[in-house]
Amino acid sequence: MVEEGKPAPDFELTTDAGESVKLSDYRGKPVVLYFYPKDDTPGCTRQACDIRDNYSAFEERGAVVLGVSPDDQTSHVKFKEKYGLPFTLLADPDHKVAEDYGVWGEKKAYGKTYMGVERSTFLIDSEGNVARVMRKVKPDTHADDVLAALPA
């Protein structure tokens, strides 16, 4: 289980640009690592667009924003282009990273049970440690909540 004050589990995933990156590549900067269920769905779109609309505030704090979902690179490219998202999306199709961060599991919606990603965010400090764990975040207040938790 990922805990505040402990090292963030490192990983390697493919970006929307087709590049392979590791979390450790971002050492020296705070990272907003946010997990979301699916590209181009209503809640995930509101969440991503809210981050987009507040992106300058994330940049002012030197933060790198990384969005992670089980969608593949092609889906991420379409989602990013459609909404003009200025941050990196990472493909986790086998949901290994979601599992490592404890956000993959059983979900219920519309009377059905399925496996999926819990909408969660991990703030990782410049030294690679988990500074804050935010579980079951709300799409409409996510950007404000994260900015309030980031050091100014």
State which amino acid sits at residue 119. R
Classify burial at 23, counting beta carbons within 10 Å of its beta carbon; exposed 0-12, middle 13-18, buried 19 or more: buried
Contact 121, 112 (CB under 8 A): no
Phi, psi torsion values for 147, nearest 5 degrees: -60, -35
Annotated catalytic residue, options 44, 90, 91, 130? 44
What is the sign, positive or negative, of the torsion defined by CA atoms of 2, 86, 77, 25? negative
Catalytic site residue 44? yes
Query: Active-site positions?
Result: 44
